[in-house]
Amino acid sequence: MKIGRDKYAHAAGSAIIVGLVSLFTGSIIAGMLVAIGAGIAKEVVWDRLLKRGTFSWADLGADAVGVGAGALLMVAIL
């Protein structure tokens, strides 16, 4: 199974959000919540409701992978 560039972008974007929010707030949980919210908002609001893209459960899965990776990285840093 080939993983498309889009999935890597979702995972990387979520990890970056977790990292930045965690660094600014000092809370990994806050970073995770913001990244999860951003991923859901992108898929549900932007893609499904506004019809600006294509809703994808796989994109949400890639977001979840990025959130987990970002959180693990922040645990090691903070």
Chain segment 1-15, per-residue pLDDT in tens: 678 899 999 999 999
- Count of other CB atoms within 10 angstroms of residue 77: 10
Question: Do residues 61 and 69 touch, judged by C-beta distance below 8 A?
Answer: no
Percentage of the chain with pLDDT > 90? Answer: 92
Q: In whole angstroms, how large is the CA radius of gyration of the chain?
A: 13
Chain segment 58-77, per-residue pLDDT in tens: 999 999 999 999 999 999 98
Chain segment 19-67, per-residue pLDDT in tens: 999 999 999 999 999 999 999 999 999 999 999 999 999 999 999 999 9
